[in-house]
Structure 1
Amino acid sequence: MPTPKAPTQATNEALAYQYGGNHKTGWLAYLPEHWLPYVQLARLSPPAGLFLVYFPHSFGLIYAAIRQQASPSEVAYAGILLFGGSFFVSNAIHIWNDIVDAPLDAKVERTRHRPIPRGAVSSSAALIFTASQTLGAALFLPMLGGDAIENVIFSAPGFVAWLYYPYAKQHTYWTQAVLGVCLSWGIVIGALSLGVKPYSLRTGKIDIPLLLLFSASTMWTMIYDSVYGFQDLKDDLEAGIYSMPVLFKFNIKRVFWILVVFIAATLAGIGGQDEMGMMYYGITVGGTTACLGLMVAYVDLSSSESCWWWFSKGFWYAGGSIIGGLLAEYTSRVFAI
């Protein structure tokens, strides 16, 4: 069984720069010094965290646009609202995660220089900051249209999941599944923006295709975040942090392959339920399966550099395939191509 390769100092610095909450170059260099820790807390640079949150919202939005035959202007307006809401959600959840994780982050090389562990921001100041960002996200709910009360009801499970997520690392090895539920709840909000509800409060009917899309997104997250998590495996084992990499270690690729098969099946199931065309099957089903299959086959889980490279590709390319196929289907229906 392979063992994790100890990252070099240069590797640790690069990984901290990429998503470690310690980035201070580029446009951040022009900010007042006392602003910097708060921008780092919110992971505003690089903005990878924002797109982790926004992509599932986009899945739900475009899928609902197909179902509702929404006009491009309606889709664009909803997309702008969802991006604004995602901005505040991303800020809030990253700050909250750092508040709860601070004692654990201090034990992990890649994260020990984040603002709270290094003492640049107090936990109380960070709590006020995350509360302000949560309020900012909540202000977008009434703008989504439809019944404002239902919007709040359907957003509540996502809020509760995000509250719990950082504690999951202390309670369950299935942390990546919890994160998948958190992020994929954005699909519900995205679909809700165009009037597609996951569950009818009046009839009790569950929207099966939307549930399948939610499931596929959750499993996709489990794969790419587990690959990401292998960067910290050695430190996580020593610190007692729970995760799928800690549970399965280097046997996890078997789990990945099962997830890839189920992702392909659920995406194909959506196509069957909604009578999608060949572009959807080729791009969303085929493209996503190919991207994730390549990642699982070729990532070297003992190498931090390989894990980072494949994590980013597994996110952008697979996520882009899901969006691309849905957009192609929407375009073909709306413009009768």
Structure 2
Amino acid sequence: MSEERGHEGFSGESTQYLSQQYGGVHSAKWVDLFPRPWIPYIQLVRLSPPIAPLVIYLPHFCGAMHAARIKGLATSEVLHTCLLLLGGSLFYSNAAHIWNDLIDAPIDRRVARTKTRPIARGDITPKQAFIFAVSQALCAFAFLLFLPRAVATSTIPSIIGAIYYPWAKLHSYFPQFLLGAVLAWGAVVGASTLGIEKPWTDAPTMCLVMALALWNSILDTIYTYQDIADDERVGIKNLAILFKENTKSLLWFLFALDGGFLIVYGVLIRAGSRYYLITAVGCISSLAVMIAKVDLQGQASCWRWFSIGFWSPGAFLSLGLLFEYVSSC
């Protein structure tokens, strides 16, 4: 089945709109450089735009920066580990998104934004998707062979959570919290790669995890609002449907908790002024602007502020932790 099938029934403007929201149609021109049969697979793993794999990698990077600062590790070791985490995160992201779309395909076909995803539109069969998911999972596992043995153990909770996540949207109204926890657990994995033993028992690490989890829960709630009408119609459960007109109040509550964990984390690690100025103030202010400005009734606004809500706080968080590590060397 050709790529164009995913475009049928949509105007050029609608197609571009869907492509910008992981609707299964890409917008980046570099994707078209690949052979046509490859394109649905690139769409499937969410490489255009590249927010999806970076959402996976950023918590791993933050955990690694946290451990590097605490342990006072050499730059060469930290760089080598961060590159390994980048490769592993990319393949883990691929496997997780394929699995999600494989399980979600019957529902995706009934939702306007997602019905053009490669499995839902028929460009990739369930068998092909499953084989592709396994191949990506094995590639992600291969990176663990170059990391300490304890790292493999630390990945187990996030793997279990990622496998269950597609069904969480049917079983409870809180899949955003599960997704936030699964993504944030990357900080535990990142910390374990650079020598923090049992990081789930380390208070600063877990404060960082909580801050990341709340941030991702806020982002995914806004992202979910794009499909709220279709989700309610087909029986999907989530925070947007549970809170509806009170969702902004929930977002502000999660925002307050998030800011609190960022500050407590800084206190626990005795962070310098750069952390508070870059990470704490930067993340808190950018999240506040996002929550204040986003129009939850507008799909375009939700996507725009979801994107800003990832890039801006993500940059502040990464830079703040990076500067903390560099200043400790």
**TM-score calculated relative to the size of structure 2:** 0.93
Aligned-pair distance for 1:31?
2.1
1:143 alignment partner, SS class: coil
**In 2, Cα distance between equivalents of 1:232 and 1:173:** 15
1:180 alignment partner, SS class: helix
Contact kept? 2:92, 2:137, Cα under 8 Å: yes
Aligned-pair distance for 1:9?
6.1
1:217 lines up with 2:196 in the alignment: no
- Which sections of structure 1, spanning at least 5 residues, go unmatched? 1-7, 201-205
Aligned-pair distance for 1:33?
2.0
1:119 lines up with 2:122 in the alignment: yes
Query: What is aligned with 1:174?
Result: 174
Partner letter of residue 128 of structure 1?
I
Aligned-pair distance for 1:16?
2.0
Query: What is aligned with 1:278?
Result: 273
Query: What is aligned with 2:19?
Result: 17
Structure 1 pair 174/11, CA: closer, same or farther in 2 (3 Å)? farther
**In 2, Cα distance between equivalents of 1:246 and 1:198:** 37
Q: Deviations over 1:159-213 (max 9, x none)?
A: 101101111111111111111111111111111111113448xxxxx10110111
Pairwise CA RMSD: 1.6
**Equivalent pairs: percent with the same residue?**
41
Query: What is aligned with 1:298?
Result: 293
More helix as a share of residues? 2
1:53 alignment partner, SS class: helix
Partner letter of residue 13 of structure 1?
T
Aligned-pair distance for 1:81?
0.3
Q: Deviations over 1:286-317 (max 9, x none)?
A: 11110111111111111111111110111111
**In 1, Cα distance between equivalents of 2:275 and 2:158:** 28
Aligned-pair distance for 1:130?
0.1
**TM-score calculated relative to the size of structure 1:** 0.91
**In 2, Cα distance between equivalents of 1:259 and 1:179:** 15
Structure 1 pair 73/267, CA: closer, same or farther in 2 (3 Å)? same
Partner letter of residue 68 of structure 1?
K
Query: What is aligned with 2:192?
Result: 192
Contact kept? 2:88, 2:139, Cα under 8 Å: yes
Q: Deviations over 1:231-279 (max 9, x none)?
A: 1111111111111111111211111111111111111111111111111
- Which sections of structure 2, spanning at least 5 residues, go unmatched? 1-9
Q: 1:246 aligns with which of 241, 264, 281?
A: 241
Contact kept? 1:280, 1:325, Cα under 8 Å: yes
Query: What is aligned with 1:323?
Result: 318
Aligned-pair distance for 1:10?
6.4
Contact kept? 1:12, 1:110, Cα under 8 Å: no
Query: How many positions carry a matched residue from both structures?
Result: 319
Partner letter of residue 233 of structure 1?
I
Aligned-pair distance for 1:46?
2.2
Q: 2:112 aligns with which of 100, 103, 109?
A: 109
2:36 alignment partner, SS class: coil
Aligned ranges 1:91-106 → 2 under 5 Å:
91-106=94-109
Q: Deviations over 1:102-148 (max 9, x none)?
A: 01101111110111111111111100110010010011112123xx1
Aligned-pair distance for 1:327?
1.3
Contact kept? 2:191, 2:199, Cα under 8 Å: no
**In 2, Cα distance between equivalents of 1:60 and 1:197:** 13
